């Protein structure tokens, strides 16, 4: 009877070791269930719009170049650092010249040469350009001007189990979550793909959204599928990684632990058999 008991313990230990070492995780693969040729509905694109504290450049061009220059901030020689160039504008230096930039105030306004206060909060680059063009034409200040608007230093913050963390710059009018994660170096293998958090300021409050990267419907239908400036993407580490922060770590979840436990049990059993 003693030997039969020992055999049972050995078989149990072998089964446990096989199961724990050969099991394939099901929470690693992205977009599960979307097979070749299958389509998934995607939320309407959400383009980047001007928000308070945003910085942007606005260039005015026209046939009469000298007249158009009146409506442009000055371009200065390259220096180190950043300085203010006037009310509501700052300068960031790049290349041999510094690019003068406007800063959107807390009301969503900028101070534009000759035009004065212009409200651009909530407008896209194209809408800002069209608004300024209409103002210049309607006031008969320029004929058929071309307006170029560029956002400066838009970024999101990446935290947690990602390849690259920190503040990540982007210069696109729309950036989706998958592209943002790629810019952040993708999730580490120990990142929870089913529990990706995106934090966004909504009406003055920080709101949290959860996205499951293994479920294509969760990704493409999420209200945060299109990233906004100043969003925070946080990837929580999985339980395996969390346990590594404790003294025993994951030792109790390894095949070696269970084999050692079975060996100990057999030793004790032999003592009783004898």
C-alpha to C-alpha distance for 127 and 20, rounded to whole angstroms:
57
CATH of the domain at 199: 3.10.560.10
- HSE toward the beta carbon, residue 257, CA cutoff 13 A: 9
C-alpha to C-alpha distance for 254 and 188, rounded to whole angstroms:
21
Indicate whether 198 and 267 sit together in one domain. no
CATH of the domain at 136: 3.30.1950.10
Token output for 30:
């992205």
The answer to whether residue 115 is domain-embedded is yes
Indicate whether 247 and 161 sit together in one domain. no
Cα separations in angstroms, 168 against 86, 125, 157, 231? 28, 20, 6, 10
The answer to whether residue 39 is domain-embedded is no
**CB of 122 closer than 8 Å to CB of 49:** yes
Range of the domain at 15: 2-25+242-273
Instruction: Choose the final residue of a domain: 125, 152, 179.
Output: 152
- The closest of 150, 157, 166 to 50, measured between CA atoms, is 150
Record the pTM: 0.72
Instruction: Choose the final residue of a domain: 152, 171, 194.
Output: 152
Indicate whether 148 and 105 sit together in one domain. yes
Would you write out the chain's pLDDT as a tens digit for each of its 274 residues? Answer: 455 655 555 555 555 545 544 555 667 899 998 889 899 999 999 999 999 999 999 999 999 999 999 999 987 554 444 444 444 444 444 444 566 899 999 999 999 999 999 999 999 999 999 999 999 999 999 999 999 999 998 999 999 999 999 999 998 999 999 999 999 999 999 999 999 999 999 988 999 999 999 999 999 999 999 999 999 999 999 877 566 555 655 455 556 655 666 665 666 566 665 5
């Amino acid at each position: 009877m003693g030997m039969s008991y020992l055999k049972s313990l050995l078989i149990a230990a072998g089964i446990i070791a096989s199961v724990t070492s050969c099991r394939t995780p099901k929470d690693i693969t992205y977009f599960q269930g979307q097979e070749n040729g299958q389509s998934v509905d995607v939320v309407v694109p959400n383009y980047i719009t001007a928000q308070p504290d945003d910085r942007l450049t606005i260039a005015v061009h026209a046939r009469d170049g000298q007249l158009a220059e009146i409506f442009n901030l000055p371009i200065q020689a390259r220096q180190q650092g950043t300085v203010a160039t006037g009310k509501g504008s700052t300068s960031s230096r790049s290349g041999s010249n510094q690019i003068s930039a406007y800063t959107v105030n807390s009301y969503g306004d900028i101070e534009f040469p000759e035009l004065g206060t212009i409200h651009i909060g909530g407008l896209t680059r194209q809408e800002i350009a069209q608004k300024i063009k209409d103002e210049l034409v309607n006031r008969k200040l320029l004929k058929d001007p071309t307006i170029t608007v560029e956002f400066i230093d838009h970024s999101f913050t990446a935290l947690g189990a990602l390849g690259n963390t920190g503040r990540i710059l982007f210069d696109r009018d729309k950036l989706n979550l998958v592209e943002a994660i790629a810019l952040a170096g993708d999730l580490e293998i120990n990142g929870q793909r089913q529990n990706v958090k995106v934090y966004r300021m909504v009406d003055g409050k920080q709101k949290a959204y959860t996205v499951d990267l293994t479920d294509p419907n969760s990704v493409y239908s999420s209200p945060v599928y299109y990233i906004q400036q100043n969003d925070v993407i946080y990837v929580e580490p999985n339980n395996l990684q969390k346990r590594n922060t404790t003294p025993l770590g994951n030792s109790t979840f390894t095949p070696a632990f269970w084999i050692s436990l079975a060996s100990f049990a057999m030793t004790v059993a032999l003592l009783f058999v004898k």
